[in-house]
Amino acid sequence: MAQLWGGRFEGETDRSAWEFNASIGFDRRLLKEDIEGSIAHAKMLEKQGVLTSAEASEIVRGLTGIYADVYGGALVITDQYEDVHSFVEANLIERAGDVGKKLHTGRSRNDQVALDMRLYTRSRVIEMDHLLRELRSVLLDLMKEHIDTIMPGFTHLQKAQPVTLAHHLGAYFEMFTRDSSRLEDLYDRLNVCPLGAGALAGTTYPLDRAYSATLLGFKGPTRNSMDSVSDRDYLLEFLSALSILMMHLSRFSEEVILWNSNEYGFVEIDDAYSTGSSIMPQKKNPDIAELVRGKTGRVYGDLMQLLTTMKGLPLAYNKDMQEDKEGAFDAIDTAAACVSLFTSMLRTLKFRKETMEKSAALGFTNATDAADYLVGKGVPFRDAHGIIGRLVLHCIDKGCALDDLSLAEFKTFSDTFEEDVFDAISLKTCVEKRLTTGAPGRQAMEEEIRASEEILKNDWTAAYDLADMTEKEKSDE
Ligand code: ARG
C-alpha cells in the first residue's frame, strides 16, 4: 500500500478498505492523460517561476520515461498504488528524487482526475466520430449502388409504399449524421481545461491556467473552480449521445435480423459475421446484429448509473465520482466495438434485390398510387380510396397483385380505369414519381446522395489524425 497522504494518519488502512477505495484497477487507463497533464502542469509552473527550468526538465524527463517504460513493458502498474496519479507520482520520485515531490505544487488529485477524464473523453469522442464516418461512408456507397433497387417501405411492419434500398439506407445515414453532430456539439463544451482548479478553491500559487489549457490543446480554462472539479456533464453528454447512437444501431440491427430471416430473405449476412447452432445444422444466426441490439441496454445502463451517481452530490468533489470511470469506459468501448463490427457486417452484407422487389410487388404497396391515379382522372380522393380498398380485397381473395388484374376486372370497380392504369401502378412508376425533397424517386435521391457526400466530406473530424493513438493506449491491457 503506497499512498500519497500518510502524514496525518497514525493507524494503518484496513486491507479491504484499501482495496475498496483503490481505483488503480481501472484508472490505469488514464496513464497517458495523467502524464500529459502533469507535463503541462510542470511546464506552466516553470513559466510562472514556481519551478526552476532545471527542475521542470527533470520532472518532464521522469514523466516521459515512465510513459515509455510502461508502454515498452519495462514498468508494470501494480495494485500497490491507490490510483494512477499515485503510481505516476511515486515513480517520478523514485526516478527524479526530491524534485519529483514538487510536481504536485498547486494541484490536487481533484483537478488532476477532472483533467485526465476530460482528455481521455476528448480523444474518444474523436475516435467515435471516425468510426461513425466509416459507417456512413459504407452507407453512402450502398446508397449509390442501390438507387434503383426497389423494396417495400413499411409502417406498422406492414408493407406500405414502395421505396428503394438507397432511400431506406439513407434514413440511417441521417441518423448517424445527427449522432456525429451531437459529438461535435458536446466536444465544444467539454474542450475546456479544469487544471488549476485545485481541490475546489483554486490555489495561492500564481498559476497561469490559460497557459496550461493552451499546452493541452483546450480552447481555454474552465471558469468556476468548484464546478471544474465536480462537473461530469461532458461524460453524461457523451453517454447520452452514445445511447442515442446505440438506439439507432439497434434499430438497424433489428432490421438486419428481420431481413436475414427465411421469411424476408432480403439479405444474407456473410459467413464471417454469422454463427451456427450446436444442434441445428441448418442454422446461420445473425449473432453480431443481435449482440449490437443487446449491448444497447448496457450503454443505457451506464448512462443511468452515472446520472444516478451524480444526482445527490453536494459540491464539490466527492469520492462517489470515482464511480464515473468503469461505466463510462464500458459504454465507450461497447459503442466503439458495436459501430466498428456493424460497419464490417454491413460492408459484406448481400442484398437480394429480386426478393426485395418481389416483396414490394406482392404487398399492394402501389395501392396509394392506384388511388392517386383515379384522383388524377377526377375521382375525389376519399372515393378513390374506397374503390381501391375493395379492389385490394378482391385481389386478396384471388391471391394476386393489383397489376395482375385485367382492365375489364378493373372496370367492374370503376369505369374511370383505362389502359394507362398499368403503367401508373407499376412499381417503377410509383418510385420514380416520388420526387419531393427527401423522397425515393431517382432525381430526389440523387440530390440526397450529393448532399450526403458533401456532409461526409466536411465532417468535423475529417481533418483530425488518429495516428498517434494506439490501441494499447485507448484500452489498457
Ligand atoms: N481516484 C479518484 C477518482 O477517480 C481520484 C481523485 C481522488 N481525490 C480525492 N480527493 N480522494 O475520483
Q: For a ligand 1 pocket test, name from 319, 320, 325, 326 the mutation site with the most ligand atoms within 8 angstroms of its C-beta.
A: 319
Provide the pLDDT for residue 470: 47
* CA proximity to 69, closest of 43, 91, 40: 91
Q: Would residue 277 show up in a list of annotated catalytic residues for this protein?
A: yes
- Residue with CA closest to ligand 1 atom 4: 322
CA–CA gap between residue 73 and residue 150 (Å, rounded)? 56
CA of 85, closest atom in ligand 1: 5
Strands 350-351 and 267-268: what pairing? antiparallel
The better pLDDT of the pair 12, 121 is held by 121
pTM: 0.93
Provide the pLDDT for residue 463: 85
DSSP 314: P
pLDDT at 474 exceeding the cut of 50 = no
What pLDDT, in 10s, does the model give residues 224-281? 999 999 999 999 999 999 999 999 999 999 999 999 999 999 999 999 998 877 777 7
CA–CA gap between residue 380 and residue 382 (Å, rounded)? 6
CA of 321, closest atom in ligand 1: 12
Q: Is residue 322 within 6 Å of ligand 1 at its C-beta?
A: yes
What pLDDT, in 10s, does the model give residues 160-193? 999 999 999 999 999 999 999 999 999 999 999 9
Confidence of residue 468 (pLDDT cuts 50, 70, 90): low
What's the gap in Å between 110 CA and the centre of ligand 1?
6
Contacts for 200 with CB less than 8 Å, ≥ 6 apart: 108, 110, 225, 226, 229, 230, 315, 316, 317
CA 387 to chain centre: 48
One-letter identity of residue 82: E
Average pLDDT over residues 183-212: 98
Percent of the chain predicted with pLDDT > 70: 97
Provide the pLDDT for residue 409: 95
pLDDT at 47 exceeding the cut of 80 = yes
What pLDDT, in 10s, does the model give residues 146-156? 999 999 999 99
Provide the pLDDT for residue 274: 86
Provide the pLDDT for residue 471: 46
Q: For a ligand 1 pocket test, name from 322, 323, 325 the mutation site with the most ligand atoms within 8 angstroms of its C-beta.
A: 322
Q: Would residue 156 show up in a list of annotated catalytic residues for this protein?
A: yes
Q: Is residue 448 within 6 Å of ligand 1 at its C-beta?
A: no
Q: Is residue 23 within 6 Å of ligand 1 at its C-beta?
A: yes
What pLDDT, in 10s, does the model give residues 92-115? 999 999 999 999 999 999 999 999
What's the gap in Å between 459 CA and the centre of ligand 1?
36
Provide the pLDDT for residue 175: 98
Average pLDDT over residues 460-475: 64
Q: For a ligand 1 pocket test, name from 81, 112, 113 the mutation site with the most ligand atoms within 8 angstroms of its C-beta.
A: 113
What is the average pLDDT value for the chain, to the nearest integer? Answer: 94
User: For the CA atoms of 382, 388, 389, 391, what is the dihedral angle to 10 degrees?
Assistant: 150
Q: Which domains does the chain have, with CATH numbers?
A: 6-105 (1.10.275.10), 110-147+163-202+223-354 (1.20.200.10), 359-451 (1.10.40.30)
Contacts for 423 with CB less than 8 Å, ≥ 6 apart: 429
CA torsion sign for 413, 419, 425, 426 is: positive
What's the gap in Å between 323 CA and the centre of ligand 1?
10
